[in-house]
Amino acid sequence: MTIRLAQISTEPLDVDAHRAAVDDPRMGAEITFVGRVRDNDEDADTPVVALEYTAHPDAEQTLRELADQAIGATDAIVAASHRIGRLEVGDAAVIVSVSSGHRGDAYEISRTLIEAIKHSLPIWKRQIEADGATVWKGLGG
């Protein structure tokens, strides 16, 4: 198991960099998940215009631990990042790339890790709506 990237960043996330980080000739499967800011939310009365993410100082270490747990005893390689700060609609908030020997592991690890990020990574978001309303949302992306 290898974690080649586990970062919390204020800079825009790069899908190609994540894919390159997990590139390995031993691996036959590669999955990349990108979570983007969307212009709507079921709880919003008006369109969502931005999200502001705030992270706990231990968030990067927690991301590494979550990736390690998701990989388990497999031979998979993972690159995962979450962006913080103000993100506009369409911006990538989270990227998870996984390569493994077989597609089943790649799918499972990707899904496990993104769900763990959503529910356990100490990152909070403030949703900003077109009418100026703001709502704080719970952990994760």
Q: Where are the domains of the chain?
A: 2-139
For the domain bounded by 2-139, which CATH number is listed?
A: 3.90.1170.40
pLDDT per residue as tens, the chain (141 positions): 699 999 999 999 999 999 999 999 999 999 999 999 999 999 899 999 999 999 999 999 999 999 999 999 999 999 999 999 999 999 999 999 999 999 999 999 999 999 999 999 999 999 999 999 999 987 555
Residue linked to tokens 């590669």? 30
Answer for the pair 114, 35: CB distance below 8 angstroms, yes or no. Answer: yes
pTM for the model = 0.95
